[in-house]
Amino acid sequence: MVVSLGIFIEDFFGGTAILSLLTGTAYLSWFYRAVGANTGEDCALNANGDPHIFLTEPDLVTLGDRVTVDDASLVCHLNTPAYTAGVGDRSVMRTGSRLLSGASMGKDACLLEHTLVLSGDHVEDGTTLQGWPAEEFRGDRLSP
């Protein structure tokens, strides 16, 4: 019997999605690790509480230590080991951002809201990107 990850995200347990109970906790990282994702230590996944399918093929995704992924997507539709998606240590993917198959992020990188990193692109260490397709953000994202 083949079970899709979608069954855990959609209505499953008395009308409540199981993964919605785990968002923002270490348990969600452990779940994705159990289904094949390579997740580092202290990752915050879907911390805003939105349980969307953001890992289409968990076995093709690598997340470094202390990575934060909000309501974002890591897409590996081609389902081949040559097309993985990777996020470096301490990097952040904010709401609506998307990393396509074959793309990667270095350490301390950030994708602002609704940013698309195309297949084969690499986000350099410490870089902040925005837009569809992604371009470097030159403003100060940390000031109020």
pTM: 0.81
118 is a domain residue = yes
Q: What is the pLDDT of residue 48?
A: 76
What is the total count of domains within the chain?
Answer: 1
52 is a domain residue = yes
Please name which of 41, 129, 144, 133 lies closest in space to residue 93, comparing C-alpha atoms.
Answer: 129
Domain membership of residue 100 as a residue range: 6-135
27 is a domain residue = yes
74 is a domain residue = yes
140 is a domain residue = no
17 is a domain residue = yes
Q: What is the pLDDT of residue 2?
A: 47
Per the structure block, which two tokens stand in for 134?
């992604």
Give SS3 for 91. coil
Q: What is the pLDDT of residue 116?
A: 95
- The C-alpha angle 51, 80, 64, rounded to 5 degrees, equals 50
Ordered mean pLDDT values, 10 residues apiece, the chain (144 residues): 54 60 81 88 82 74 92 76 85 92 94 92 95 87 65
Q: What is the CATH number of the domain that holds 84?
A: 2.160.10.10
Q: What is the pLDDT of residue 5?
A: 56
143 is a domain residue = no
